[in-house]
């Protein structure tokens, strides 16, 4: 029983780390631009396709494919900057409509370019047995956990210890006050969007290793990112990881005891509960009220 629960913890840490990576890009972009990006999942899917084809046809490893997919994900920077700069009032509502349209266009594009086939990157995963604890963890799980921790630590140190990071944090929390303080808000927004796109590319290169990728697979990714961002709060990077782990633990326990078919229902219920409890607060804060 104890061993089984320990394995659930390992699974939850791995799944939660993946969820955190999926949500970080969404959180950074929403925090700096107030754009609720419903095309976030589509951006992740493209990064996953890039990683998939690079590794399959050029025989490169995870590090190289993740770097390439992260860099190429920057193509979405001008799109998000355009949406953020063109919707000055009721930004959240307008951004929902615009990014929903972007998501539909990208879905059709992916279907035309890559077909509707399901794709995943299979690899020879090494299993590490922790005999004293009676646990085992795969190299893929370990890669996801370490990638998530590295990303969170990097952003935390940047926000807390560098002048650029402090200026970016001020812009995320209150862009009007930051502008009055002499902070170049527009440049900070571009930096936040760039970091968000880069994190999205990393998320795609990890996602394709543990889940099937197809043109219509963006909805679940967007919902997970939205849920964790709203639950963590605007601009709260550490809480993104903690809440992602917590949500993954609950989801893993429910799947273990009740079956995987209840997982999507649980996610939907969580979104409704979070929106009812914190949605108005988050949106009001993002509007500077």
| pLDDT above 80: residue 105 | yes
Residue 1: the pLDDT is 47
Q: At what angle do helices 237-258 and 263-274 cross, to 10 degrees?
A: 140
Distance CA 127, CA 122 (A): 14
pLDDT in tens, 233-252: 666 788 888 889 988 888 88
The C-alpha atoms of residue 225 and residue 221 are separated, in whole angstroms, by 6
Q: How far apart are the first and last CA of the chain?
A: 50
CB 144 within 8 A of CB 155: no
Q: What DSSP string runs through 126-192? A: PEEEETTTTEEEEHHHHHHHHHHHHHHHHHHHHHHHSHHHHHHHHHHH-HHHHHHTT--HHHHHHHH
**Which pLDDT does position 85 carry in this prediction?**
77
Task: Domain 2-117+135-286: state its class.
Answer: mainly alpha
Average pLDDT, the chain: 84
pLDDT at 287 over 70: no
What pLDDT does residue 288 have?
45
Give the mean pLDDT of 11-34: 90
Most confidently predicted of 57-61, 131-135, 194-198: 194-198
Q: What is the mean pLDDT of residues 150-167?
A: 91
Instruction: Supply the pLDDT for residue 259.
Output: 66
The pTM of the full predicted model, rounded to 2 decimals, is: 0.88
Report the C-alpha gap between 278 and 280 in whole angstroms: 6
Task: Assign 253 a pLDDT band (cuts: 50, 70, 90).
Answer: confident
For residue 289, pLDDT beyond 50: no
What is the mean predicted confidence (pLDDT) over 83-98? 73
Per-residue confidence at 198, pLDDT binned at 50, 70, 90? very high
């Amino acid at each position: 029983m104890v061993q089984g629960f320990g394995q659930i913890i390992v699974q939850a840490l791995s799944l939660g780390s993946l969820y955190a990576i999926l949500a970080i890009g969404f959180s950074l972009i929403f925090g700096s631009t107030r754009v609720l990006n419903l095309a976030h999942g589509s951006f992740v899917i493209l990064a996953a396709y890039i990683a998939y084809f690079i590794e399959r046809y050029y025989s490169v490893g995870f590090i190289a494919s993740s770097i390439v997919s992260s860099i190429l994900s920057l193509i979405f920077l001008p799109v998000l900057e355009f949406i953020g700069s063109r919707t000055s009032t009721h930004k959240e509502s307008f951004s929902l409509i615009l990014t929903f349209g972007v998501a539909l266009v990208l879905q059709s594009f992916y279907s035309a370019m890559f077909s509707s086939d399901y794709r995943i990157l299979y690899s020879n995963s090494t299993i590490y047995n922790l005999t004293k604890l009676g646990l085992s963890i795969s190299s893929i799980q370990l890669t996801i956990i370490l990638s998530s921790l590295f990303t969170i630590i990097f952003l935390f140190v940047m926000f807390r210890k560098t002048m650029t990071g402090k200026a970016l944090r001020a812009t995320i929390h209150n862009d009007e006050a930051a502008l009055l303080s002499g902070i170049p808000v527009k440049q900070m927004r571009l930096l936040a969007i760039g970091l968000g796109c880069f994190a999205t590319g990393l998320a795609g290169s990890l996602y394709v290793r543990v889940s099937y990728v197809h043109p219509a697979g963006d909805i679940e990714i967007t919902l997970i990112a939205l849920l964790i961002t709203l639950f963590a709060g605007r601009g709260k990077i550490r809480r993104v990881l903690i809440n992602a782990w917590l949500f993954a633990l609950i989801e893993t326990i429910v799947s273990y005891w009740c079956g995987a078919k209840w997982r999507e229902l649980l996610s939907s219920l969580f979104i409704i509960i979070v929106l009812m409890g914190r949605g108005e607060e988050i949106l009001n804060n993002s509007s500077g009220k």
